Amino acid sequence: MNYRYPFAALLVSISLFLISWGYTGHKTIGSLTENYLTPTAKTAVKDLLGDSSIADACTWADDARKYPELKETANWHFLNLPLGLSFREFKNTVDTLKQANVYSALINAEETLKQKDATRKQKIEALKFVLHFVGDIHQPMHVSRAEDKGGNTIQLNYEGKGTNLHSVIDTRLLEHGGLKYDSLAVKFNQIPKRKIRKWQRDPPIKWAWESYQISSELYAEVDEMKTRNIGEEYYKKHIPMIERRIQQSSIRLAGVLNEIFKGVESK
């Protein structure tokens, strides 16, 4: 069986701009996820990652695409779609895409982790992709338009410094308060049990749809701006969304890992 993921030369230059949640965001997701793993899943993950923490492993996929042997993975971090789709149109489009994308890459990585005859190396790589791609699919600007590179070419001025929409959403707002990832994980760890149960029941296509809806709103906001200068007001309006997406990423990632490792032993 072939465990390599599908490759398509889909605008490689676009992917080089994408930073997903940035290291702070991904490490926050990894740290928060640990709180919701079952003992069995935690042991299985530890067995595969060794001395690497989940927080550290969550950032591996961003570095991996820089290696020649893994450069094809650069396109697996995002999903490009036109705006204005209904959920049915969105799902049909995603299900029929021939190009590799964050949704298909996540599903493939999960399947590899479930395969009993996958090698240990394949499972370690697949686990690291799952850890990262669950985060990416929850970053709104990773399910967005191709023409502006996921908001990377939409210029903004945040707190007196030049930046872009993608960077504001993935990094600037999250790092606004100066907290490190472990402190952010503690701060965000106030999640009602009813939300945990609901979020973990939602399928990955819904995770992507949520990001698509949010990115559509963010684009509309930018179009209506009289000035591209943003600051505290923008932060206060959008940080609750950032916190919710980080929380959802963590809870759903834990749910995926708990389910996968419930009956699958690593090699």
- Residue 165 Cα distances to 46, 148, 172, angstroms: 36, 10, 10
At 242, the amino acid letter reads I
User: What is the average pLDDT score of the chain?
Assistant: 91
Domains in the chain with CATH codes: 12-260 (1.10.575.10)
Residue 144 DSSP one-character state: E
Nearest to 31 by CA among 167, 173, 135: 135
Question: In this structure, how many other beta carbons lie within 10 angstroms of the beta carbon of residue 107?
Answer: 15
How is residue 251 written in tokens? 């809870």
CA–CA separation, 259 vs 266, rounded Å? 14
Are 94 and 114 in contact by the 8 Å Cβ rule? The answer is: no
Cβ atoms of 246 and 96 closer than 8 Å: no
Distance (Å, whole) CA 132 – CA 64:
11
Choose among 116, 100, 98: nearest CA to 108. Answer: 100
Q: What is the pLDDT of residues 52-101, one digit of tens each?
A: 999 999 999 999 888 888 889 999 999 999 999 999 999 999 999 999 99
* 198 contacts 253 by C-beta, under 8 angstroms: no
DSSP annotation string for 160-186: TEEEEHHHIIIIITTTTT---HHHHHH
d(CA 255, CA 122): 21
pLDDT of residue 19: 53
Distance between CA atoms of 186 and 218, rounded to whole angstroms?
27
Dump strand ranges (E) for 112-266. Answer: 143-144, 155-158, 161-164, 229-230
Predicted confidence pLDDT, tens digits, the chain (267 residues): 333 433 333 333 333 344 567 899 999 999 999 999 999 999 999 999 999 999 999 999 999 888 888 889 999 999 999 999 999 999 999 999 999 999 999 999 999 999 999 999 999 999 999 999 999 999 999 999 999 999 999 999 999 999 999 999 999 999 999 999 999 999 999 999 999 999 999 999 999 999 999 999 999 999 999 999 999 999 999 999 999 999 999 999 999 999 999 965 544
Q: d(Cα 109, Cα 122) in Å, to the nearest integer? A: 9
Query: How far apart (Å, rounded) are the C-alpha atoms in residues 135 and 25?
Result: 8
